[in-house]
Amino acid sequence: MKRRTFATGVATLALAACNEEPGAVEMGQSPRLPQPSRGLLPDMTIPRPARWGNDMPVVPEGYTITAIATDLRIPRQTLLLPNGDILVAEGSGGNAPVLRPKDFIAGIIKSWGRSGVSGGNRLTLLRDADGDGVYETRRVYADGLNAPYGLALVDGTIYVANQDALVAFNHVEGTLEAAGPPRLVARLPSAINHHWTKALTASADGRSLYVGIGSNSNITERGMPAEENRAMVWEIDAATGAHRPYATGLRNPTALTIQPDTGQLWAVVNERDEIGPDLVPDYLTSVREGGFYGWPYSYWGNHVDERVRPQDPERVAAALTPDYSLGAHVAALGVDFSTPAMGASFAEGVFVGMHGSWNRTPPSGYKVVFVPFRDGRPAGDAMDFISGFLDAEGNARGRPVGVTVDPRGALIMADDLTNTIWRVTAPGVV
C-alpha cells in the first residue's frame, strides 16, 4: 500500500474545493500553465524510504549502472578531477525557524522522506586506480566543513561552497587528502537559511565563480529584508573575493553549469509552492547577466503572483521567461552538459537530477532526465535516463541530487536518500 501523510486527506479536500486536480507534469519550452489554486494545505505527500532488494535503477538499453560508493553521509554534489578521481560533498544545513502551523506539518512530512544519517560536513575522494570501474580507494579529503554543497576546480584550486562561505583548497593532482585547511574566499548569506544550498560553478576562463543563493522563504513571508542578497546568482572574483549580483529573481538556483563552447551559464531553479499541484514549474534556463527572472512578483515570465504585496508591475514586465520547464515540484538539484561519448541519443544536451516532490500526488521528479539541445538551446522532449526510484507501492528507493558527466562516457549521480554514488556508463565504456 502506498504510504500517505495525515495531511493528505485535508489537502485533497482543499484541492477539490478549488476544482484543481493534478494533471500531467508539463515539461518543455512552452508549458501550459493552469490557473493558480489555494487551499488550506498543499497536498503534502512524500514517498517513504524503501529498499532496492534485487532491483536496480532503470537506465537505457545497453547502458550499465553501478553503485560505486555506499554508506556516505548525505552526498549532494560531485566533482570529477582531471585524473578521474571523484570528490563528493556531504552535508546538510538549514534549520530555518517555523513561521506557520503548516510549515510545522510540512517539516514533519519532509523528514519522513529523508535519510536518517546526519550530514558529513566533509569531502570524500573516490579513486579507481586501475580504470576497471571499481572505485577501490575511498578517503576523507577534507572535513570540518559547514554543509558543503557546490564544488568547482580551477587551476589546481578546489572551491567549496559551504552554506555560509566560499572556501578554497590548494590541490595537488593525485593526492588523497587536502594539504591543509581551506582559505576563505567570500562570506555567503547564511542568516535563517530557509534555502541553505549554495550551488557553484566557474567561468570558462576560471576568473569568475558563480554561486546560486536561494530565497529565505516561499514567497516573502519573512519579509523583504530577509531576502537581501537572496534569490540570485552571485559572480565572485576568484582572485579577490569581490562579488556582485549577476542575475536576480531566481527563487532557488540549486545547480549551475557552464555550456561548453559558448561559456554560457545555465541553472536549474526550484520555484514557489502553494498555488496548486501543477504550479509553478521548476525550470532549466540560461542565466543572462543582469537578468531578472520574476521572483517574487511573477513566475514563468509575466504570470503575476497575486499573493505578493506590494505588487511591482515594472519588475513583472521586465521578467525573463525561462528556457525549459521541468515540471512542477520536481525539485531539480543537479545539472551538467553531456558529451558525444554518452552515446548518440544523449550526445547534445543536459542531464538533470530531480530530487522529487513532497507536495504533489502523484509525486513528480524522482529521476534523472536528459533534455536534448540543438544549436545550443533546448529542443524536444526530455527523456528519462535514470528512473525506477519509486517502487510499485509509491515508496522511494533513492532521491537524485547532483549529476556530473565524465567525458569518457559516464554519468555520476549522488543519491542522498540511500547515501550512494551511482555511475552509469555508455555501451562499451568500463
Sign of CA dihedral 265, 268, 273, 279: positive
Band (131; pLDDT cuts 50, 70, 90): very high
The mean per-residue pLDDT over the stretch 376-401 comes to: 97
The pLDDT of residue 147: 98
- How far apart CA 195 and CA 216 sit, in angstroms, is 6
Phi, psi for 294 (deg, rounded to 5): 110, -40
pLDDT greater at residue 163 or residue 108: 163
Beta bridge partners of 377: 374
Query: Between vectors from CA 122 to CA 121 and to CA 125, what angle results, nearest 5°?
Result: 155
Mean pLDDT, the chain, whole residue set:
93
pLDDT of residue 42: 63
Residue 294 in this model has a pLDDT that exceeds 70: yes
| Cα 18 from chain centroid (whole Å) | 30
pLDDT for res 2: 43
The percentage of residues in the chain with a pLDDT greater than 90, rounded to a whole number, is 86
pTM for this predicted structure: 0.94
Write out pLDDT tens, residues 271-284: 999 999 999 999 99
pLDDT in tens, 36-53: 998 766 677 889 999 999
Average pLDDT over residues 208-214: 98
The pLDDT score that the predictor gives to residue 19 is 36
Lowest mean pLDDT among 22-26, 201-205, 210-214: 22-26
For residue 321, is pLDDT > 50? Answer: yes
Percent of the chain with pLDDT over 70: 93
pLDDT at 73: 98
Find where cell 517502487 sits. Answer: 391
- pLDDT (average), residues 227-231: 98
Q: In terms of Cα–Cα distance, which of 265, 259, 260, 214 is closest to 235?
A: 265
Q: pLDDT digits over 243-258, tens only?
A: 999 999 999 999 999 9
Rounded to an integer, what distance in angstroms lies between the CA atom of residue 330 and that of residue 332?
6
The residue among 45, 50, 111, 4 whose CA lies nearest residue 358 is 45
Q: Which domains does the chain have, with CATH numbers?
A: 8-22+35-425 (2.120.10.30)
C-alpha cell, 69: 560508493
Q: Yes or no: say if 393 and 420 are a contact pair by the CB < 8 Å rule.
A: no
**What is the length of the chain?**
430
Q: What pLDDT does 289 receive? A: 98
pLDDT(3) > 80 = no
Q: Confidence band (pLDDT; 50, 70, 90) for 98?
A: confident
Radius of gyration, CA atoms only, the chain: 20
| Separation between Cα atoms, residue 304 and residue 321, nearest integer Å | 13
Least confident stretch, 35-39, 227-231, 330-334: 35-39
